[in-house]
Structure 1
Amino acid sequence: MEQEVIQPEMSYAFDGEPLLQPFIDEETVVIEAQGNDYYLDRQSGFESSARSYPRRLPIAIRRAEGVFVDDMDGRRYIDCLAGAGALALGHHHPVVVEAIRRTLADGVPFQTLDLTTPVKDRFVEALFSSLPKAFADQARIQFCGPSGADAIEAAVKLVKTATGRRSILAFHGAYHGMTHGALGLTGEIGPKLHVSGLMPDVHFLPFPYLYRCPFSLGGEVGWRSSLAYIERLLDDSNSGITPPAAMILEAVQGEGGVIPAPDEWLREIRRMTRKRGIPLIIDEVQTGIGRTGRMYAFEHSGIQPDVLVLSKAIGGGLPLSAVVYHKELDRWQPGAHAGTFRGNQLAMAAGTATLQYVKEHRLDLHAHEMGERLMAILRNIQKDKPQIGDVRGRGLMIGIEIVNPVDPPDALGVYPPNRKLACRIQTECLKRGLIVELGGRQGSVVRVLPPLIVTTDEIDQIGTIFAEAVRVSIVT
């Protein structure tokens, strides 16, 4: 059995001399490495029943590098979860590791609240330079607690403060986080069932889900019907909705099943919200920093939001979130939003390195090319597999909707979701060295989010493993 060696700890005074004796007298302490089952059993013994990923991905991770992770049983996997999209450059990328080491060597504090440092200044400069110039020139930034959900909460507080209104317009299929307010904006019903008193005055609108059109029309006529419905609602004095403080949306819905909004639909949404003075919040927590083939998903349509919510990849894999918004909305008072860990210096250093690397190496374009390659492979698999209902996505944010072709289809000829088969495919992928996630309606969409550094060979491996997993799962 392989053994891990832990070196003894030593504390030092400021002059470099030992302050105390070593905390552990022995030269080294040897701990016998255990397998996956050992750590999974321990986890189930002390971690809450709310844990989710280990139930479908029963592994304990030993180490990771690039697009690969190794488990405690010595198996290697291609990681197409990548921290739910947070690891834009994969695991332990040299530029990120070096940025963290340099920051540690410089003696910068780990946390600074909202006090500024050169590290923070460089991060803001890098972030703003990654945004469209017209947006960045008018922007202000608020750093939030380390999660995207906290940034969503801040964005909602911002627009309510600036407008004096209370209603928020959200969309079917949306995912904005699991904190109390963010959950109120989220479409999935399951997490809400046992939580009362969620954010009031949230009103859900039909998102242009082309495969499962909410109007049973499909195609362009379907998403144009969505626009017509929304515009009429906004002008209807009997709609039951008070003038909105904001509309919030994802340009590509992630947890909702990887559903890209048509560019023309987004342009029309921007037109109607601007005309009526409704701030538009775009949640790019998962799509930002090159994921969809552009630096930001909203750029595909050529629009500009009033408020942009960012997290995940902006911290280079470390916890960080922020809200970037038009300066005219900057009407809140000092302390209106705060958080102890909003000054995470290591995350800002790692984020700066990531932003610069993505920009310099045009990883947004690489994501587009790799995404097109993978979707072509997946659509080829789909040809003789009616269980694959739809393959869709943008860049390296791809969804494969799994359906049951035995049950009756809907009015558009679309078969019902098949969560059971999607789970089998996920399990068979894991057995063959591929980590994928599930999402969408009834958890029937296999989601693929590899790091942006994935190569053509690795893309082809992903396709090969997925094809075999589908074949075995259908036969089973």
Structure 2
Amino acid sequence: MESAVTLTAPSTESTAPGSAILRRQRVRESAARTYARSFPIVPVRAHGMTVEGADGRRYLDCLAGAGTLALGHNHPVVLGAIRRTLDSGAPLHLLDLATAEKDDFTTALLESLPAEFAARARVHFCGPAGTDAVEAALKLMQTATGRRSALAFTGGYHGMTAGALAVTGNVAVKEPLPTGGEVVRLPYPYAYRCPFGVGGEAAHRLAAVYTERLLDDPAGGVVRPAAMILEAVQGEGGVVPAPDDWLREMRRITAERGIPLIVDEVQTGVGRTGAMWAVEHSGIVPDAMVLSKAIGGSLPLAVVVYREEFDGWRPGAHTGTFRGNTLAMAAGAATLRYVAANGLVARAEQVGRFLAAELTALQSRLPVIGEVRGRGLMLGVELVDATAEPDACGARPADPALALRVREACLARGLIVELGGRHDAVLRLLPPLTITDEQARAVVDRLADAIAAAAERTTGDYTAGDRTTGDRTTIAGVTR
């Protein structure tokens, strides 16, 4: 079992190993770089959930390539698939020509999807990133329906290319650019910060009623759209899970009005939420699913899977040079099968439930934790100003400055976590599905210690040391 508890003080010397690389990166690379700003480290080795920097420090990685690394870093199953492909002499890139590797990946993918959806599905291989798959899905539905506009949601994130950015909710990245298309923005059911100011179950009922009445209002200003696109769990939007009843309502509303429903499973897919695909929690059958990240087994791959009746494209209607990534297909097929065969979907649900319970229990001692939410191993901890008055729903103002300090404190304690949410005040946890019991406990301990230190508050009878001693029970009876 790999170690989960190595802690060493961060190096502050300008001559530390890797410092020259960091300096050159600052000079040479775009000002748009993001993770490099948050984590000024130079990883040199990685295995499972552990990343080692050039200075010898080890970190537990709760970012995992923004959810790309379902099996963690350099999993032997993934490396084996890559090596076998390389040793076979298979062509590494063939655009969209048929290969044995593509055929095998397509088979593994369709076998992993809900049967009702897969039975009548077509697969389109796109460029290497999820944003390209979103573009493809929108274009597909525009072609099929002859319509142009789209329905999207507050808090949604679908990528940074023009069409994907148009359906993304983040105002800061949209403001400097011209619109990428006509989009009607609908309220996403975010109970903690309810758009209607009511919270609870009433929030998602109101969101559904509002959507239906707006679409049926002849003076509502909504031209019949080409598609609705949504996330079953908003990731960048702050790890906000959609209630299953609301998702079923969105499926009913779109089906009754002939509006194709696209579900963006770029981050939620491949077991991340405690189901192989997040749509399985609600049982809905979308018209299209957008997939990327973990489906490539850590390598670039993106696809759209859609119902065959929408396959009205002409040859070349949507292309992408790197849609024939042979190594990604081999690694992806191996990953999909390993996740299914080794119970990692159930494991994600079990460990996610443990982490959520442990983090929620910290709220009484760390009142800066406003809410802990998520599904499976896709979790968010929203940090708030505990001294401020709560709003009508009981939510206090977000505290992005505190979140920045917590992220830094986590890194100093050997834990990599990223921020998200409406105000960048949500700590996002996306550990690999292979996380061990020991690592899960270490994540809780380090995160709790970092929050307490950053908030500069007393934590009652709690200390990180208290939680690393005493009786140890496994999570759902399983230690991996």
Q: TM-score, normalised by structure 2?
A: 0.91
Report how far residue 379 of structure 1 moved.
0.9
Q: For the residues of structure 2 that align with 1:179 and 1:200, how far apart are their CA atoms?
A: 12
The counterpart of 2:146, out of the listed 157, 164, 170, is 164
Q: For the residues of structure 1 that align with 2:383 and 2:200, how far apart are their CA atoms?
A: 20
Q: For the residues of structure 2 that align with 1:390 and 1:351, how far apart are their CA atoms?
A: 34
Report how far residue 183 of structure 1 moved.
0.8
* Aligned position for 2:163: 181
> Is structure 2 residue 85 aligned with structure 1 residue 109?
no
Q: For the residues of structure 2 that align with 1:458 and 1:414, how far apart are their CA atoms?
A: 31
Q: For the residues of structure 2 that align with 1:396 and 1:38, how far apart are their CA atoms?
A: 35
Q: For the residues of structure 2 that align with 1:426 and 1:467, how far apart are their CA atoms?
A: 12
Residues 277-320 of structure 1, C-alpha deviations (whole Å, 9 max, x = no match):
10000000000000000000010001111000000000000000
Q: For the residues of structure 1 that align with 2:185 and 2:17, how far apart are their CA atoms?
A: 46
Q: For the residues of structure 2 that align with 1:156 and 1:376, how far apart are their CA atoms?
A: 38
Q: For the residues of structure 1 that align with 2:215 and 2:343, how far apart are their CA atoms?
A: 40
Report how far residue 194 of structure 1 moved.
1.1
> Is structure 2 residue 394 aligned with structure 1 residue 413?
yes
* Aligned position for 2:48: 66
Residues 220-258 of structure 1, C-alpha deviations (whole Å, 9 max, x = no match):
111100011000011011111110100000000000000
* Aligned position for 1:126: 108
> Is structure 2 residue 132 aligned with structure 1 residue 150?
yes
* Aligned position for 1:333: 314
The counterpart of 1:271, out of the listed 244, 252, 273, is 252
Q: For the residues of structure 2 that align with 1:231 and 1:241, how far apart are their CA atoms?
A: 11
> Is structure 2 residue 49 aligned with structure 1 residue 83?
no
* Aligned position for 1:48: 30
What letter corresponds to residue 277 of structure 1 in structure 2? G
Q: For the residues of structure 1 that align with 2:294 and 2:309, how far apart are their CA atoms?
A: 27
Q: For the residues of structure 1 that align with 2:252 and 2:35, how far apart are their CA atoms?
A: 39
| SS of alignment partner, residue 385 of structure 2 | coil
> Is structure 2 residue 258 aligned with structure 1 residue 248?
no
The counterpart of 1:471, out of the listed 437, 452, 455, is 452
> Is structure 2 residue 254 aligned with structure 1 residue 260?
no
| SS of alignment partner, residue 428 of structure 2 | strand
What letter corresponds to residue 416 of structure 2 in structure 1? I
* Matched pairs, number: 443
Q: For the residues of structure 1 that align with 2:250 and 2:158, how far apart are their CA atoms?
A: 19
Report how far residue 133 of structure 1 moved.
1.0
Report how far residue 200 of structure 1 moved.
2.0
Residues 425-453 of structure 1, C-alpha deviations (whole Å, 9 max, x = no match):
11101000000000001100000000000
Report how far residue 195 of structure 1 moved.
1.1
> Is structure 2 residue 122 aligned with structure 1 residue 140?
yes
Residues 83-131 of structure 1, C-alpha deviations (whole Å, 9 max, x = no match):
0000000001001000000001111111111101111000000000000
Report how far residue 192 of structure 1 moved.
1.2
- Spell out the pairing of 1:1-80 with structure 2 (5 A cutoff): 35-80=17-62
Q: For the residues of structure 1 that align with 2:266 and 2:394, how far apart are their CA atoms?
A: 34
Question: Any runs of at least 4 consecutive aligned residues in structure 1 with deviations exceeding 3 A, and if so which?
Answer: none
> Is structure 2 residue 366 aligned with structure 1 residue 392?
no
| SS of alignment partner, residue 354 of structure 1 | helix
Residues 24-56 of structure 1, C-alpha deviations (whole Å, 9 max, x = no match):
xxxxxxxxx961322111100100100011211
> Is structure 2 residue 196 aligned with structure 1 residue 215?
yes
Report how far residue 380 of structure 1 moved.
1.3
* Aligned position for 1:307: 288
| SS of alignment partner, residue 358 of structure 1 | helix
What letter corresponds to residue 284 of structure 1 in structure 2? E
Instruction: Flag the structure with larger Rg.
Output: 1
What letter corresponds to residue 57 of structure 1 in structure 2? F
| SS of alignment partner, residue 60 of structure 2 | strand
Q: For the residues of structure 2 that align with 1:35 and 1:160, how far apart are their CA atoms?
A: 52
* Aligned position for 2:429: 448
Residues 196-215 of structure 1, C-alpha deviations (whole Å, 9 max, x = no match):
2x222111100000110100
Q: For the residues of structure 1 that align with 2:21 and 2:162, how far apart are their CA atoms?
A: 31
Q: TM-score, normalised by structure 1?
A: 0.92
